Amino acid sequence: MAFLTLTSNDNGRGLLNSRIEVGIDIDRTPQEVWAYVQDISSHVEWMADAEAIRFLGTQTHGAGTSFECDTKVGPLRMTDIMTVTSWEDASRMGVRHEGVVTGEGEFTLTPIDDAASRTTTRFTWTEELVFPIWMAGPVGAAVARPILAAIWRRNLARLKTRVESL
């Protein structure tokens, strides 16, 4: 199962937020999925748009962890600066984007009991992003939404393959 939600709304500052939500069901428990995704440095293994991650200090997991992520989407390259804002083992990880594109993102892991009495995890990735004026602001956000959603759906398919093969 995979899903996609795309919405836009005014953030109160006259800028348009772009909300993207993608998800996939992974045939593993939330604890098994978390065991893999909690290693932030491993995100480059399943995120095609993430080329490198560098931690900005000694902390590498948990709320307060800060890192740079070299990101590439088509011909565009940028360094995204992120700080982990929430961390609930086997449940959710939230980040604040402080680079060129700003906003908030979150992974949530929700257990789903399937018919075979195995627990499946619904992995949901939500981002609410604000694009700067030089990236065409709201117009850039509207253009980027379906492109990012497609990339992130493929990222989740890779995540599912990796976690289910462990």
Q: What is the CATH number of the domain that holds 116?
A: 3.30.530.20
Smallest Cα–Cα separation from 153: which of 25, 16, 58?
Answer: 25
Residue ranges of the chain whose pLDDT lies below 50: 1, 3-8, 11-14
The tokens 């906003």 sit on which residue?
103
| The pLDDT value given to residue 14 | 46
Q: Which two tokens stand for residue 65?
A: 């962890």
Interval 15-44: pLDDT, tens: 556 889 999 999 999 999 999 999 999 999
| The pLDDT value given to residue 32 | 96
Strand partners, 108: 92, 124
In terms of residue numbers, what domain contains 64?
2-164
User: Domain tally for the chain?
Assistant: 1
| The pLDDT value given to residue 5 | 47
Q: Which two tokens stand for residue 90?
A: 């086997």
| The pLDDT value given to residue 131 | 82
* The residue type at 2: A
| The pLDDT value given to residue 142 | 82
| The pLDDT value given to residue 3 | 45
